[in-house]
A and B are shown apart, each in its own frame.
Chain A
């Protein structure tokens, strides 16, 4: 069966510090991968998605970047965090094609102070 791992679960970082969040998927090959951000009690904002190694599409220009160094690994990064980067970050995967559904990781609560 497929599983998705996302870490860390919580993170407190000072303004101006770098960020690296990692997500890995097991039990499937060539998944589509996604990074979302969520404000408390609200909907999810699509940040980045990837349909293959090295292929990254950005939905919202901002202080973040994403990379996909391996087929089942997706990384969200920032060189210098801003207060506005605080939020709940979620990684997700889908099988692509007609399998139009997402499977989510457990999320990372990021607080930038």
Chain B
């Protein structure tokens, strides 16, 4: 089983603030994904990063894949209450997808 550690585990911020979530592992992955999950629902894919050092932007969200393809970060600019949710990273190797420990984000209006 591959282990991916996310930090922080919990994050509560005011609307308009910036934040960064980290996803770290000692394993190399062929790709890494970020998902967002609402309570009682399945996770929904936000982005997939494939190349070491790759940076992808999705509106106010910026995703980066580490050069060694072992870690990733998610940066949110000017957070909004609609960003509230559980953020999960997942590393893919072969046909398996291993998920991080999760970061629960609350954005206070």
Contact = CB atoms under 8 A, between A and B. Distances in A.
Contacts of B31: 100
Interface stretch (A11-19, A71-79, A105-113): A105-113
Contacts of A44: 43, 88, 90, 99
B72 interface: no
Interface residues of B, number: 28
B78 to A, nearest CB: 25
Interface in B66-95: 86, 88, 90, 92, 95
Interface residues of A, number: 26
A106 B102 CA distance: 18
B24 interface: no
A101 B95 contact: no
Interface string B38-65: 0011111100101000000000000000
B98 A46 contact: yes
A36 B95 contact: no
Nearest to A34: B97
B66 to A, nearest CB: 17
Interface of B: 1, 4, 6, 30-31, 33, 35, 40-45, 48, 50, 86, 88, 90, 92, 95-102, 104
7 residue pairs, one from A and one from B, having the closest CB atoms: A104-B42, A44-B99, A100-B92, A100-B31, A43-B99, A43-B102, A43-B101
